[in-house]
Structure 1
Amino acid sequence: MKVLNRNMLMLVLVLSLICNISHLYAADPTDGFTNIPLTEANFKIQRPYNLPVEARYSFENGVRRMWVYANDKSHSPNSQTQPRTEVRIMGHDYSSGVWQFEGYGFVPNGTTGPSVVQIHGATHESSTIILRIYDGELRYYSGDLIASNMYDKWFKVNLIHDVDQGKVTVFIDNQQKFQTKDRGPGDLYFKCGVYAAPKNISYYMESRWRDIKLYKK
């Protein structure tokens, strides 16, 4: 009887381990996607138009650091938008299919209010999705909470946009955290960095990004 109970316990443990491994494997949001090679030519830096790139951007040891101040100029003399320092992924705009952005972000304590990653473009809006940091919380625009306690640590972001199905899915550290309808097709592309919201922003805003990748189905 004791041997039987021991065997049953071992079986339960093995099955549990198999389930956990399967869950971890299935949680990889890039499963079934094809990686799209990127070079430095694909990374366009948008920053206050009156400043040199190095005044608001650095790229060292694989880390792209971007910062901006609330009273900085826009990225263009003809733009009335808020100040930004962002990486705009070039050469891979899309209007159909299933696309995915992957990157590791870092936001220092005290930064609040900026968009840190987004899909630009939509049918009737300027963006499909924006993820903003407010007091350490990652939110969908300034609304739905996606993740908490995001300051001072690296976190993995995967944005999957299924244009044909009209939906966007957000993974943080390989866990699905959010899904929403998109805002219609358009000229779409990915961006990350810091882009000040219209209100409730800190004077200084910064984010860092590394290992940025694109995928497509």
Structure 2
Amino acid sequence: MTLPRRSLFALPAVALLATPAHAAPAWTRTPYTFKVQKPWNLPQSARYSNSGGVHTCWVLDTDEPHTQGSNTDPRTEMRYLQEYSSGGHALEAEIYVPSGVNGPTVMQILRVRGGDPGTPATDFMLNVTNANGGTLRYYTSTVVATGIYNTWTRIRIEHTAVAGGTGKIKVFANGALKATVNDRGRATRHFKNGVYHHGSGRAEARFRNITYWTQ
């Protein structure tokens, strides 16, 4: 007895479906810890406060660096203790910058070890200038937000790091993607926010609703 040949069109419908594309892992809110870096010769309370969940960081251009003998610019920053070299990590916060502040870095990803010799110390910096009512820029190039003075702006930085390779960084302002850039290759790094001051006079920034995320 000869069995009839089955037609392709007789196969179960599920066998004809394309395999779905791989979905990226979901972001998960994750606990975080930090320490405050401030001028080495001042008490923390002289340059940092936390009142009702609003973290205020300020520094003067004449202040000392955060370690004695360092040649870096003065800073008051929240340095997150979650270090990573691979995987997805994100920091999100609302930022408030008072009118006239010009020159500081208010968020950054700092490379602490394991990078190639001669590689810059940061993968990402978000800097404030006094243009257009206060402007946030990726380093000195891409504009991330304008009109930031005296208002709260929600910033999210997502970093998908690759062990031994080059990863991607995305920055969002008020929910809108503003830039996607490469990091600077393999390293162990961490997030920071506050004021790392490259300008003159007083620099201040406030942060609230800070959340840390991983994939």
> Which residue is equivalent to 1:36?
30
> Which residue is equivalent to 1:177?
178
> In structure 1, the residue corresponding to 2:158 is in which secondary structure?
strand
One-letter identity of the residue aligned with 1:134: T
TM-score w.r.t. the length of structure 1 is 0.80
Alignment partners' CA distance in 2, 1:94 and 1:186? 8
Question: Superposed, which structure 2 residues align to 1:51-200 within 5 Å?
Answer: 51-90=42-81, 92-121=82-111, 123=115, 124-135=119-130, 136-164=134-162, 166-197=167-198
1:187 deviates by: 1.5
Higher strand share: 2
Matched residues, number = 180
Report sequence identity in percent. Answer: 37
Q: Please give the per-residue CA displacement for 1:45-104, whole angstroms capped at 9, x wherever unaligned.
A: 0000000000001110110000000010000003110000000011x1000011111111
Moved over 2 A (4+): none
One-letter identity of the residue aligned with 1:166: G
Higher helix share: 1
Greater Cα radius of gyration, structure 1 or 2: 2
One-letter identity of the residue aligned with 2:126: L
> In structure 1, the residue corresponding to 2:188 is in which secondary structure?
coil
One-letter identity of the residue aligned with 1:93: E
TM-score w.r.t. the length of structure 2 is 0.81
| Structure 2 portions without partners, runs of 5+ | 1-24
1:179 deviates by: 1.1
Report if the CA contact (8 A) 2:59-2:203 is conserved. Answer: yes
> Which residue is equivalent to 1:16?
none
One-letter identity of the residue aligned with 1:87: M
> Which residue is equivalent to 1:7?
none
Q: Paired residue for 1:204, among 191, 202, 205?
A: 202
Report if the CA contact (8 A) 2:144-2:172 is conserved. Answer: no
Report if the CA contact (8 A) 2:157-2:172 is conserved. Answer: yes
Alignment partners' CA distance in 2, 1:145 and 1:35? 27
Q: CA RMSD in A?
A: 1.3
